């Protein structure tokens, strides 16, 4: 969520653009100004939320950088604490999405990793290219608009900052980084990344605990 990312960026006096929701929202850190806002059509987002709820998992949706849910769980409590944001409870999530009528940055589910893997495959098979269904973490299922992927965000940044693809390095660790690494730039998977991500990477670097971004900066930029 932009709210969560921005707080950290301001703490360390970082400037520039922030990409959130896997590319569905692009904002300026200092001003908070939105440069791009995309997301899921509310009807398909509501349908996905309803189907997730029928899987008996914690279901959420993000609209205007605000999280909504209709039933809480230990997973939601942990997530909100981790990202340091709040969430709004509604009576029925799918109905609220339809009534709201706004683009939905992300529909998600939180559950045990084994269940998340099953749901991710099931929904990917069902929706084909209409939706991207992936995992930001083993216990997190994320559903986004294919037109607002991390790959799209890199192209946006490339054009905004006038940086050619051959000078861009993208680094990731989970399946929600597949579109990020598949672009025309140099895609790097961390050493302990998901195998699905390693399969599309141009390079595999050190594990997360060994500071992969620092390693790549020293290797290519310093």
Each residue's pLDDT, cut to its tens digit, for the chain (222 residues) gives: 999 999 999 999 999 999 999 999 999 999 999 999 999 999 999 999 999 999 999 999 999 999 999 999 999 999 999 888 999 999 999 999 999 999 999 999 999 999 999 999 999 999 988 999 999 899 999 999 999 889 999 999 999 999 999 999 999 999 899 999 999 999 999 999 999 999 999 999 999 999 999 999 999 998
**C-alpha–C-alpha distance, residues 194 and 208, integer Å:** 12
What's the predicted TM-score (pTM) here? 0.88
For CA atoms 45, 50, 54, 57, the dihedral sign is positive
Residue that is written with structure tokens 């969520």 in the block? 1
Check: CB of residue 145 under 8 Å from CB of residue 130: no
Q: Which residues pair with 58 in a beta bridge?
A: 110
- What the chain holds in terms of domains, given with CATH numbers, is 42-148 (3.30.1240.10), 150-222 (3.40.50.1000)
Q: Could you give the CA distance from residue 61 to residue 95 in angstroms, rounded to a whole number?
A: 12
Residue in 24, 17, 208 with CA at minimum distance from that of residue 131: 24
């Amino acid at each position: 969520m932009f709210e969560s990312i921005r707080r950290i960026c301001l703490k360390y006096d970082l400037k520039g653009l922030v990409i959130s929701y896997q590319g569905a929202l692009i904002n300026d850190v200092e001003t908070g100004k939105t440069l791009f806002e995309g997301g899921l059509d509310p009807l398909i987002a509501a349908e996905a939320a309803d189907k997730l709820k029928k899987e008996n998992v914690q279901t959420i949706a993000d609209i205007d950088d605000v999280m909504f849910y209709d039933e809480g769980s230990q997973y939601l409590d942990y997530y909100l604490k981790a990202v340091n944001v709040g969430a709004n409870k509604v009576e029925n999530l799918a109905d609220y999405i339809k009534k709201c009528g706004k683009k939905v940055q992300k529909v998600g589910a939180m559950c045990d990793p084994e269940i998340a893997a099953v749901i991710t495959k099931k929904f990917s098979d069902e929706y084909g290219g209409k939706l991207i269904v992936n995992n930001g973490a083993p216990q997190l299922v994320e559903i986004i608009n294919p037109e607002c992927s991390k790959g799209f965000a890199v192209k946006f940044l490339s054009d905004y900052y006038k940086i050619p693809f051959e000078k861009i390095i993208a680094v990731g660790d989970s399946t929600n980084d597949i579109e990020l690494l598949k672009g025309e730039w140099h895609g790097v998977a961390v050493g302990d990344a998901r195998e699905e991500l390693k399969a599309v990477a141009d390079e595999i670097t050190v594990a997360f605990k060994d500071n992969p971004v620092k390693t790549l900066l020293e290797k290519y930029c310093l």
